[in-house]
Chains A and B, each alone.
Chain A
Amino acid sequence: GDSVTQMEGPVTLSEEAFLTINCTYTATGYPSLFWYVQYPGEGLQLLLKATKADDKGSNKGFEATYRKETTSFHLEKGSVQVSDSAVYFCALSDTAGRRALTFGSGTRLQVQP
């Protein structure tokens, strides 16, 4: 079945550091890929998405590129801020099967001033 694997956290960075959160997936079809973010005390919010190979999703300075050859969708940001502290979830929606999201286990990011 479909699955998503994320790097374990917490990831602790200083402000303005470069961020990478790794995400790899297994899917039977041609999935759409998503990053969701959960800020403290808030619900899940869509951060960015990519629907086909080589697409790059971007939002709020975050980027991720859909790499079919390595089945990856790593999240990057060039300069993190304290306000980026949250839990980040990688997810997929498989077009060949059910279209509900399959989530990774989440990666907690802590940014220190």
Chain B
Amino acid sequence: EAGVAQSPRYKIIEKRQSVAFWCNPISGHATLYWYQQILGQGPKLLIQFQNNGVVDDSQLPKDRFSAERLKGVDSTLKIQPAKLEDSAVYLCASSLDGTADQPQHFGDGTRLSIL
């Protein structure tokens, strides 16, 4: 089966600019996650969707980050305006139904560098 697809792979922008990332989960997976992975750290959840509804966005910096999953399939994550501290790899993951024992499948990530 095709894996989780993310684009772009790399993005370089200046601070205060905006940027968007795209994710296409594995077909049939109801749950979609966005994680932020800062260099040297483990991934940290930003937002979790169940179909097209938000399950958990408690750790999303809502003053600058937004995400949507309008049709319950693809998702986009946006940052506006970007700060230097947003330099990280943004990972998208999906799972079949979001239950605790179901594995999450990760994309290759988008590496964001803020100048």
- A-side residues, CB < 8 A to B, are 4, 31-32, 34, 36, 42-46, 49, 51, 89, 91, 93-95, 98-106
Query: A31 touching B100 by the CB < 8 A rule?
Result: yes
Whole-angstrom CA separation of A98 from B103 in the bound complex? 14
18 contacting pairs across A/B (C-beta < 8 A): A4-B42, A34-B103, A36-B106, A42-B108, A43-B107, A43-B109, A44-B43, A44-B106, A89-B43, A91-B42, A93-B100, A94-B100, A100-B33, A100-B45, A100-B48, A101-B43, A101-B104, A106-B40
- B-side residues, CB < 8 A to A, are 3-4, 33, 35, 40-45, 48, 55-56, 91, 93, 98-101, 103-109
- A-B contacts counted at CB < 8 A amount to 62
B41: which A residues are within 8 A, CB to CB?
105-106
